[in-house]
Structure 1
């Protein structure tokens, strides 16, 4: 009935979709197995993509040839660039999405990918021969052979949904949990754990009074995520902001004794940076209000997502408290919020390629690795799909460095430090964030993706054009020079300090108060010159000139890190022989089995002194 596939992807969430698309577009014959074909790429939580650091990840996925950026551009209803008041390293794109259209666009994109086949059924087991995975087993007893398998099971592995004192099996509201895989993996020797996440109630937007809320508009000139020529938004839908109050908190607290989080029924750890409303009230008792974002679910639906009100309290307590929020006095609930517990596998059991250390050609991606968020899952799926294809074709793996991508930071953190709570990406996790901006992901990553056969020729040529255009513009700015007598009166007219020597536009652009657009007032020919240059080229050149010194400093630091990453270690190296290492370092190094000295230095519990000892020993 089934041919032997190159890659089988289990699960069709954000990680599974990117994994299937990447492996297929590189030439692998892929089977995407899901329990429900109607929930492919479902946005299980908030209807949005991007945000602080997450927006950078979506740009990186797009630069590598993934689909998330293109799908987001096709289905967004609002776009905002966050943190514009800060430096460009902090600028983060965020899009409000149409939930139904996002999933539809993903399915259509996958169906239009020739090498992707689909199968709707629960995968309950793995076929393992020796220490290598060779296929999967289904709930109907079918066996499907493959050269590599990628598990992207999300919150479905033995998923348990909690609403107050009620609990029932499920991987998502209205969908059953996945059984069998956890037990198979534990029998193979994997360590498993439990995590939890939650989601807020959904309400009928027609029952809300928006006059009592603050309107949150999209950007006047909305941007987009993909570096390809997707269409920017022509119209946008607003979001809204309101607040809880002490009356809301008092009602919520009446249900705390029935809360699965407080009475011990939930064992798994929840996301620190996306806490439930009851957790916020408990942890931040001094605050008398918390922000609530009221987010439309799409262009045409009346369903609204109540961001900031995630809860697993009894549904009657949720409803009573919610109606005390300004604007929600007559709110009608579509479905209550809930918490979900699920199995995950500590990611220290993986290599940097996301292949498991115990079983060859078996890859884990997404929430199975202890992460939270669509973007974090999608980038792991992309990298697992890429590396599964490369491995079965006996090619060198793709491992992105911390200085190359937020994706590299995320995977390096997971593999070397592990996580005992749902991992979420922040800009603060990246030590080279000025290099890893959202505006230059294509310049950083598209040449790499083109070389391995994932980025298309069209995408690559767009990147080369941007690269050459930026270089040409910067060189032109250096050539355009003015004498103090000619330029100072014009600088005075725009309240900029005079120059003492002959100065170029390149030197003037380094000033905080001047932009490329300012030069139209200094040189009559500059406006016509600028009209011929693409906006993204101007933006790129301006950042590179203004932050040149800081960028160079980060590049130098990244090169120092690269020197450590270039010092290879045999993964089977016996650290017990080096008695000078601390006991904790030996234990952690034996568990993680780093492949470079740089990786060893980033393992939790390995000190700089341990690294120095290792360096001396390796030099011998």
Structure 2
């Protein structure tokens, strides 16, 4: 039934597992993807969307590295928006509504078309661990499958418990059973486990809604896409989302069910996502607010099922139904299924290395919600990195680690293993200190060459990136070398209420003014002639604009990153004895003994380690 031994076994086929399996297989490793249901590969368990603030940057990074998420999203999108366009480009974040059924189907088809990848449907109930090394997995049928490395991407399935009001039952997702046995094996091996909670809103029948009472939310007029490859195209047709609001009446009806809420009666003891709270949590925590936004999101092109974003809840189904019928546009709503909360096991990620390999068991990797994260994008990026590093380990090559100034993925993983998390971790642009460098538009510049070096990104992808980079650099140099006369520049400058020039000046200097936008730059004949002569596409033009307008900020951030990266070069031995350094604070000693930072830079980011502690370490190591 199976190979004698696989290079990589991936357990779970959600977003993390799918990316892990694809990466390992595409790097030439014999890979087995084991899942409880092959019909639910890459299922969108919660909202039918990819991307968003900071999350969109992650999807672009996955694509730049050679992952599948961006391609699948482009092929199955029903709407595209670039968020935060009113702010600087470091904040621009792509987001797409997806067709839920087509998204899962496209993922499966892409995986089935991937060489070196086998599939098997069954529950993994245990791990084969010998002498501190992973040797394979055990299934519910008693089969033992041998593997040199194993990547666990179990999502919300480990001892999953679903809550709807006072009812609770085992499950990893609505309509699917929980997974048992893996947690127990890991705890026996010495791992620390915890519990987390997440929730989801009710799904409703779109035919029962009155959209005339809601605010339409259309996609962008000129939609972009996620993947840098030419194999996907921007949307020509889009479906609108809609927005409506709760009210004080809705809140009062929800409050009537609080005594039966598992959140408030003590049944749920674990922490849920801070930045995506349930509706009952919102009206409890923000009692001064008389209404909250609800986003009405279609689940696909041809289905009537609708996702009610913002109404996540674990209240009894009758309370959910009564309250939702008081929302404008939902007066005659029909439910497809109620919302619910789910508790599941996770493993504090301080037990991992930067490669996502566990410190306790060699060859065992964790990715996704098992590490305490929330979100498809966060999970997919971890799966990609775990799959890459599992493959590199089998191939006896150096690990692949992204620094904080190289990718949001680097920030995510460093935050998890250095700081840990006690609540579901979600990525935000504010978590990245180098966000001007980590823009969504330049992920291919940052990451495709590195991925090509390890054998994941294709040569086609690399050559396309190089062409885009060369064309945008040449366009920027054109701005540096070409001047505008007073007569050419001033009409546009005066129109934009920017100080007119008194003598000819370089385009670069004029275009770097904050008042001048791309549409203004394209008013100059010299610019449009250059674009036409060199057949530049919009992607290249926008890239050049960003480099011109934000060159000062970008250069400053690069310098700051270079200074801090010097601390990355100061390695700390794996067996370093912190107890011998009496001048370290007690808290710093305890935290560093637990996390075992690899470099001085990582040590400096541990909560409780002060600058004075870092100085002591540097002096002790001859710096």
Q: TM-score range by the shorter chain?
A: over 0.9
Question: Are the aligned partners of 1:30 and 1:115 in contact in 2 as well (CA < 8 Å)?
Answer: yes
Distance (whole Å) between structure 2 residues aligned to residue 490 and residue 159 of structure 1: 61
Cα offset for 1:513?
A: 2.6
**CA gap 1:36/1:493 in 2 versus in 1, 3 angstroms:** closer
Q: Structure 1 residue aligned with 2:548, among 545, 550, 559?
A: 545
Among 599, 604, 609, the alignment partner of 1:606 is 609
Give per-residue Cα distances to partners, 1:151-209, cap 9 Å, x unaligned: 00000000000000000000000000000000000000000000000000000000001
Matches within 5 A, 1:11-90: 11-90=12-91
Residues 305-384 of structure 1: pairs in structure 2 closer than 5 A: 305-384=307-386
The offset of 1:392, in angstroms, is 1.3
Say whether the 8 Å CA contact 1:350–1:415 is kept in structure 2.
yes
TM-score by length of 1: 0.98
- How many angstroms does 1:521 deviate by? 4.2
Among 237, 242, 253, the residue aligned to 1:251 = 253
Tell me, yes or no, if the aligned pair for 2:373 and 2:424 is still in contact at 8 Å.
yes
Structure-2 separation of matches of 1:286 and 1:390: 53
Q: 1:219-277: CA deviations, max 9, x gaps?
A: 00111000011111010000000011111111111110111110111111100000000
Does residue 205 in structure 1 map to residue 206 in structure 2? yes
- Which stretches in structure 2 are left out of the alignment for 5+ residues? none
Residue in 1 that maps onto 2:459: 457
Distance 2:185 2:476 in 1: 58
Q: Report matched runs for 1:54-453 at 5 Å.
A: 54-229=55-230, 230-453=232-455
Residues in 2 aligned to 1:58 and 1:406: alpha-carbon distance in whole angstroms: 10
Q: Is the Cα contact below 8 Å between 2:83 and 2:94 reproduced in 1?
A: yes
Structure 1 position 514, deviation (Å): 2.4
The 3-state SS of whatever aligns with 1:397 is: coil
Please say if residues 76 and 99 of structure 2, whose CA atoms lie closer than 8 Å, have aligned partners that are also in contact: yes
Paired with 1:534 and 1:49, the residues of 2 have a C-alpha distance of 25
Quote the Cα distance in structure 2 between the aligned partners of 1:488 and 1:328: 54
CA contact (8 A) 1:241 1:292 kept: yes
Distance 2:295 2:548 in 1: 37
Q: How does 1:586-597 map to 2 (within 5 A)?
A: 586-597=589-600
TM-score (norm 2): 0.98
TM alignment of 1:470-481, pairs within 5 A = 470-481=472-483
Q: Within 1, Cα distance between the matches of 2:2 and 2:146? A: 8
Q: 1:506 to 1:314 in 2, by over 3 A?
A: same
Q: Contact 2:197/2:270 (CA < 8 Å) preserved in 1?
A: yes
SS at match of 1:340: strand
Change (3 A) 1:493 1:240: closer
Matched position secondary structure for 1:569: coil
1:119 Cα offset (Å) = 0.4
- Contact 1:491 1:522 (8 Å CA) reproduced: no
SS in 2 for 1:149: strand
Query: How far apart in 2 are the matches of 1:274 and 1:159?
Result: 20
- Post-superposition offset of 1:512: 2.0
How much has 1:476 moved relative to structure 2? 1.2
Measured at CA, do residues 261 and 485 of structure 1 come closer, stay the same or move farther in structure 2, by a change above 3 Å? closer
Aligned to 1:617: 620
Change (3 A) 1:579 1:508: same
- Is 1:536 the counterpart of 2:568? The answer is no
Unpaired runs of 5+ residues, structure 1, are none
- The secondary structure found in structure 2 opposite 1:440 is helix
Q: 1:256 to 1:467 in 2, by over 3 A?
A: same
Whole-angstrom CA distance in 2 between matches of 1:329 and 1:20: 45
Q: Deviation of residue 520 (structure 1)?
A: 5.1
Task: Provide the rounded CA distance (Å) in 1 between the counterparts of 2:269 and 2:143.
Answer: 34
**Structure 1 residues 393, 331: CA separation in 2 closer, same or farther (over 3 Å shift)?**
same
Instruction: Please give the alpha-carbon distance, in whole angstroms, between the structure 1 residues aligned to 2:54 and 2:476.
Output: 28
Tell me the SS of whatever aligns to 1:552: helix
1:475 shift after superposition: 1.0
Kept in 2: contact 1:594–1:600 (CA 8 A): yes
